[in-house]
Amino acid sequence: MLLLAQVDCAQMASILGAEWSFPRQGYLLFFHDEEFSATYDYEQGDDGCQVLHLPAGSGAEAAVTMPALPLDATLMPSLPDLRDDADKALGIHIVELIDLLEELRPLSPASRHRLLGYCDTDTSHPPGHRPLLQVEAEPGTAWGEVVNVSFWIPDADLRAGRLDRVRRCYEVA
């Protein structure tokens, strides 16, 4: 598996505060099967990924095997879409929700990469899961026709900070 992303837990904990359910120190490392050889299910994603927490001082900084693309973390809004059952979660009639989302979406900044929040793409996702990380292909990346990779976590695991049942989904151009 290839290291796709590394997240500094201390930086995320300082931005998200109590909403950050993972360790407050160390790194989350996101690995994926770079050959996309895991059996893919449109509804469930695949298990061609692994997310690990490495404590601070464990050498995670040296784990990068490809040129790093540093990204700055910024707190920004994230909007649900109709696949997220937002009408039920928000208690809004579906027609009102469609109108509201159409008005809000142009005001919500798009992000090429997102930690937590709602999915920004048309990628399928496993039911009962939330996006943990979404990564868009950058110039120079070699993913073939794959344009984004996302890691999905069950709601209960997100609340508990549990990383062993993460699934991967991806979108092909």
Q: Is 169 exposed, middle or buried (0-12, 13-18, 19+ CB in 10 A)?
A: buried
Mean pLDDT of 62-69: 55
- CATH code of the domain occupying 2-58+78-172: 2.30.320.10
Mean pLDDT of 13-39: 86
Give the residues across from 41 on adjacent strands. Answer: 45
At a CB cut-off of 8 Å and minimum separation 6, what does 33 contact?
1, 2, 46, 48, 49, 168
H helices present in 9-115, as ranges: 9-16, 86-90, 94-104
φ/ψ of 6, rounded to 5, equals: -130, 125
pLDDT band at 51 (very low <50, low <70, confident <90, very high): very high
User: How is residue 53 written in tokens?
Assistant: 């927490």
DSSP one-letter string for 99-168: HHHHHHGGGSPP-SEEESS---S-----TTEEEEEEEE--TT---TTEEEEEEEEEHHHHHHT--TT-EE
Every domain of the chain and the residues it spans: 2-58+78-172
Mean pLDDT of 62-82: 54
pLDDT (tens digit per residue) in 143-162 = 777 788 889 898 899 888 89
Query: Average per-residue pLDDT in the chain?
Result: 75
pLDDT band at 25 (very low <50, low <70, confident <90, very high): very high
Q: With a cut of 70, say whether residue 140 has pLDDT above it.
A: no
